[in-house]
Amino acid sequence: MSPLTPSSDATFPRVSPGVVTGEDYRTLVSACQKGRYALPAVNVSSSSAANAVLEAAHHNQADIVIQISASGAHFYAGNSLPPSDETRALGAVALAQHVHLLAQHYGVAVILHTDHADRSRLGWLDALIAHNQQHYTQTGRPLFSSHMLDLSSEPVEENIATAATLLKRLAPLNIGLEIELGMTGGEEDGLGHELSDNPSCNLNLYTHPTDVLTAWRKLSPLGMLSIAASFGNVHGVYKPGKVQLRPDLLQQSQTLIAATLDTPPNPVPFVFHGGSGSALADIRQAVEYGVFKFNIDTDTQFATSQGVANYIAAHKEAFIHQVSPNTGKPLKKFYDVRQWMRAGEKSCCERLNEAFLVLGSHKKSIARRP
């Protein structure tokens, strides 16, 4: 599978390996857009998953987005803890500390991000901002590169107004904000709904370019903004024919904004939600039209699960007996948790190897050691 072809005159500043924030975050996003490639964005809920993503990025000499959802953060903190905004914040902070500690040793740049937060999860974002502020005071840098606000189910005016308030709080900490305009179909982290078999019921899956213009005009002056504009994309994988993607809506939005606000081409950093299972042609078009971040949670979860399942199937005896009833030998080396977890990590890496090639980010890391 051949990668996307980067623009021939693309030369970019370099950043230090590790989590990027502030101007380094801007530099990486700009490099993706000017180079016409995108970064896989992988949801994680354990240190093992984070390590697999870092390993794949290192192997591909590519930069990466590591993100965590509210429920993923709760799981990271420990599901025995009562669910609360602070518990979820602690889980996300634990991931952030893990990635900050290790990412620089993998030699790539990492965008550290939190995924969908609707209005019921604004308290989670409040708690995260407090932790970011504390870390910024101590180190001069925030914990996270960016956060996401998902008010796509609300009127556009309310979505933008809340985003403006949030962005004004994030900008002084050098943190970006991702918003969603139009609703991505399917269910993710308990948010959303299944697709209807009636196409007329899925019209909100297509964001109107004028809404993108309105959001960009009002929000981009306030801080670092990216937009997940819906163009028929859905979370999860559906049978062929049920999902009708229209990447041309992204192109229309970029053209409208550039003409109205007199900007260079493709001014908006777009995000492709629900990337798993998408057709190659749709992915490449979306990247050409300014997508820099490609969410691929469903495929990487499935790949990890397949790796574990195949390992267990190959060593079935060890998951029934501690000592082989046939040979009398202990089987600990086969059911050792590190063995089957590692099998899942390797399978996840294999899926990401393919993603880096498809998105054109293979061997495009802008991270260099001083």
Q: Which residues are catalytic?
A: 115
In the chain, DSSP finds a helix count (H) and a strand count (E) of 12, 11
Residue 127 backbone dihedrals phi, psi, to 5 degrees:
-65, -40
Rounded Cα gap, residues 320 and 322, in angstroms: 7
Find the distance separating the first CA and the last CA of the chain, reported in whole Å: 34
Q: Which of 61, 204, 39 is nearest to 113 (CA)?
A: 39
Give the DSSP per-residue string, 188-207.
ETTEEEPPPSSGGGGGGGB-
Rounded Cα gap, residues 237 and 185, in angstroms: 11
Which CB contacts under 8 angstroms, 24+ apart, belong to 5-11? 5/36, 5/360, 6/35, 6/36, 6/37, 6/360, 6/364, 7/34, 7/35, 7/36, 10/34, 10/35, 10/36
Q: Which of 92, 159, 163, 101 is nearest to 128 (CA)?
A: 92
Which two three-digit tokens encode residue 350?
A: 């294999």
Which two three-digit tokens encode residue 298?
A: 């469903």
How many Å separate Cα 170 from the centre of its chain?
19
- Judge whether 44 and 50 are in contact, CB under 8 Å: yes
- Judge whether 184 and 152 are in contact, CB under 8 Å: yes
